[in-house]
Amino acid sequence: MRQQSLRQEYEEFVLQRIEEYKEQLSRTELLAVADEAVRELEVSAEEQLVLTEVLVLEHVDRLIIRRLRLPTFRRWRERHLELRESQQNHEQWDLDPGTP
């Protein structure tokens, strides 16, 4: 697999987990995460006067990634490639090596 396609697959994996997490939260809980994101952005950007909605949304996603303890791309790729390799191992599935 090409590096780019693995990166895209990882990003889709992360986005799916984030969306699943958000769907489990009540509106109040999700707004609390957004408030936390705004507070962290205000601290990290002391002199920045404007916080855009995009920055807040991205930071909310980063907070959720931390809460879900999602793996980094490198760690995910290692596990993912091992899983794919084991899925292609005919012996694991009790198949003849000539089976497609």
Sign of CA dihedral 59, 66, 26, 37: negative
Question: How many domains does the chain fold into?
Answer: 1
100 domain residue, yes or no? no
pLDDT by residue (tens digit) across 15-38? 999 999 999 999 999 999 999 988
Q: Which two tokens stand for residue 25?
A: 């939260």
Q: Is residue 64 one of the residues assigned to a domain?
A: yes
Query: What pLDDT, on a 0 to 100 scale, did the predictor assign at position 92?
Result: 62
Domain residues for 55? 3-88
Q: Is residue 97 part of a domain?
A: no
The pLDDT value recorded for residue 84 is 86
